[in-house]
Structures are given as C-alpha cells and as structure tokens.
Structure 1
C-alpha cells in the first residue's frame, strides 16, 4: 500500500476563495446575470450557492443540509431564497462566511474533532475535517472552472498540486460512499484509476467501495488513465467521459461499464 501525505485542505480552500473573490471583483452586471453552465443558475446564483453553503454552517440550516434526502434540491432552495438579492449582497455574504469557514477549517484540522464522522445528506458520512476543507474546495473548484469562467468567456484560473489533491480526495471519498450504498453486483474485480498531472496518483477501487492509494494486489479487471484537470469535469457529468482524454487498459468493456456509472455530486 502507498501512503499519501495528507494535503493541506485549509490552504487549498484559502487559495480557491481568493480565486472566487478575484473573479467576482470586476464582474459586469451582464456577467453577474449571465447564464452559467450550472443548469438553471445564473453566475450570481452559483456564487450565492457558495456563500449560502458557507453561511449555513453557522446557522440552524446546517441541520437541514446534513439531514437532507436530496442535497441538490436543498441547494436549489437556498439559492432561490437569494435570487432577488443584488450582486453586492451576494458577494458580501460569500466573502464574510467563506472567511469564517476557512478559519474554522484551520482550527479543526489540528484537533481530534477533525476525525469525527458526520452525515452529509444522501452522500454518506465523512470526517468533519474532510467536510470543512475538501468538500468546500471541490465545490469552489468545479463551480469556478466549469460553471462560471467558461460561461462568461473568462480564463480558467490556475491551480496547484495541493488543491488538486484535495479535490480528488473529496471526490474519491464520495465515490467510495456511493459504491458502499449501491454496490455494483457485476463488479467482481477492482479497477485502477491513474490520474496524471497536478496532485495525481494511482488508486484501486473495489466493488465494496474500498478506495486504496496504489495498485491493488489482486488481479484488476481494468486500468483507467485520465488527467487530474479533466477528472472533476467528466466524473461529475459536466462532460461525457468519452469526450475527454481517457484510456482503458485490460478489459475495455469492464472499464467502460464502470465509467458509465461514475456520477460524483
């Protein structure tokens, strides 16, 4: 087994927050109200989603989020409550409460509390440290790079190995829970996932949801190779995996079958 050093989630969140604030600092009225790539949401609504998610952690609505049976519907409801807000108010909420979440993430990361598991809607349970850091980084990363920037013709913000490691960490944790909750009866052997680029590596994914850094010791059915840059896009079904730079070694049909069920939210 390969033991990977844990990335700095708080530093990653701080960096992603800076990118959001940098982009939003000079958005025009037309850009704020432009349709984003997130279905049904304007650019302003996406930022409202990020801000409401941060704000909710410090209010009773956190319970609603944690106990939700449909996290996407819950997110839509929170955004709808802010749809009439002016952009300045949306940005102020995001700036204030994302700063508090970042500080909280840093404080919790050094305590045993970070390992306490709590449930997040239908996504399953996660350590608090992972929820405060990695979940937020993933949300920022995907919305900024795939839903906002390309929709208004802005340049995709840069990233780094630490941020990508945190994004991948969260995505594989969600995928693990999804497989545990809905096992793939046909999946008798594990697949390997190699992500190349910043923050990349090897992982083995078993039918029972076990995700292990490194290659499986048992015979693998398929070896999937993709890039870290594209992983968040196709694995969240913002793009078809068939349209991205993915290769499948071993049993090609088995690998395709696995890729067809990946849908990380």
Structure 2
C-alpha cells in the first residue's frame, strides 16, 4: 500500500491551496514554466485530473493518444473559463480525488491493475503517488519561482514529499515510452538518487528482441548515474537538462542515449 503517497498528495495540495488566495488576476495570466500554459492553465490541468478521478469520462477514440496532447485538450476545454471557475473546480474536486485514492489503499482493491492511457498500467494504490508527483512537480517547477513566475515560498522538499513521487516515476519509466526508450538501454544503468527521496534503482536492458527494459531496486551494474531525487524530477520530465545535474561513472557513452531520451510525463 502507498499511504505515504496519499500523505504526500495531501501535503502538496495543502501547499497549493495556501498559495491560491495570494495570486492576483494578472499573476494567473503569466506564462508558467510548462510550455504553452499560463499559471491558471496549470491549475486547470490539476483540476481536470481531479475531476476525471471523480467522474471518469467514457473513452472516446478521437482523443489524442499521446498523453501530453490529451492534457492539452483538457486544458483547452477550460481556457474560456474565468479564474474563479478554474479555482473552484480544483477546490471542489481535489478533496474528492484524495478520498477516492484513500479508498484505493484498501487491501481488497489496492493491487487491482489500473490502465492510465498513454502512461501504462499501475496497481490501484499507486494512483495517490501519481497525484503526489503531479502536484509537487507542477507547483514547484512550473508555478513557483525560480523556475515559474510566482514569487511565493513553500517548505523545502522532504523525504515524505519526494519519495512517493519518485516511486511512481520509477514505476512509469519502463512503460511510458516503450520501444523508443528500450532501445537506448544496452547495459544496466544504476540510478543513484540522493537527498530527500533518496533511492537506488537499476534500469536493466530488454531481454530478447521483443523484451522491454525493467527497473529493479538496488545497484546491479557498473554504470552509475548520480543526481538528487529532486533534480531527477526536474530533468527526467524534460524541464531541465540532465547534463546540468547528473554525474556518470562507468560507461558514459552507454548512459547518454538513455538520458537524452528519457521523458517521464
């Protein structure tokens, strides 16, 4: 179970909720660090995710297959809304989203597979970690300075906030890009994530021509990629360049294609 993911999602939501009353109308319109989205659009995205958790839509074959474009579609649907309408949707549905994700921790349903279109399949209990990742990442890297435009401060990242986000990211890493990323892993690559949320995991090459890469806990190779867990959230989502944050030991030429390709959504 991932009650830690639920606690992290609640705390990041609390931090976002505390900031909202201080944001002026002009500040909502500022470009965020998420390309193409204003600050209000980032909140619209989080509100849309919360809404769809509570009221799952019927699948539509015309929707974009690429997950990022799907998110753009949902944000675009809300571009005509007032700031108050966007804020209200998030404020109304985020607590309901967390209540559903709390119920997902129950043993009877926790291990059920859930397909997230464009992102892969996850045990139901990990849905809370996805929310923990989304809110942490968008709040700290897209909305707030220094990367984003809003000059508000939140507490320093902690193990409790970062580790659940990284847990989802490592679960998603083998699934989100498929053969594109598989082809870049030719030797075991050890990710050594330090600081808050510290963890070590190894990305293993696919086995056989139809195989896919896998991620195992611990160190199982000679090529090591060292970075902080917080920086991992930034560069593995393409918000920053991995070259500014990673130290590679071992076969750097084997790690570089993987690092260039990796894009966790």
CA distance in 2, matches of 1:103, 1:201: 28
Alignment partner of 1:119: what SS?
A: strand
Name stretches of at least 5 consecutive residues in structure 1 with no aligned partner. Answer: none
Displacement of 1:163 after TM fit?
1.6
Gaps of 5+ in 2: 207-212
Give the SS at the match of 2:23: coil
**In 2, are the aligned partners of 1:68 and 1:122 still within 8 Å (CA)?**
no
Q: Distance in 2 between matches of 1:28 and 1:53?
A: 24
The residue number in structure 1 matching 2:259 is 259
Scaled by the length of structure 2, the TM-score of the pair is 0.89
1:152 aligns with 2:149: yes
TM-score (norm: length of structure 1): 0.89
RMSD: 2.1
How far apart, CA to CA, are the structure 2 residues paired with 1:81 and 1:187?
Answer: 38
Picking from 165, 171, 174, the partner of 2:172 is 174
Q: How does 1:205-220 map to 2 (within 5 A)?
A: 205-208=203-206, 209-216=213-220, 220=221
Q: Distance in 2 between matches of 1:13 and 1:235?
A: 20
**1:141 is matched with which residue?**
136
Tell me which protein shows more helix as a share of its residues. Answer: 1
Task: Note if 1:34 corresponds to 2:30.
Answer: yes
Report the Cα offset of residue 156 of structure 1: 4.9
Aligned structure 1 segments of 4 or more residues deviating by more than 6 angstroms: none
- The aligned runs of 1:168-247 (5 Å cut-off) are 168-178=166-176, 181-182=179-180, 184-185=182-183, 187-208=185-206, 209-216=213-220, 220-244=221-245, 246-247=246-247
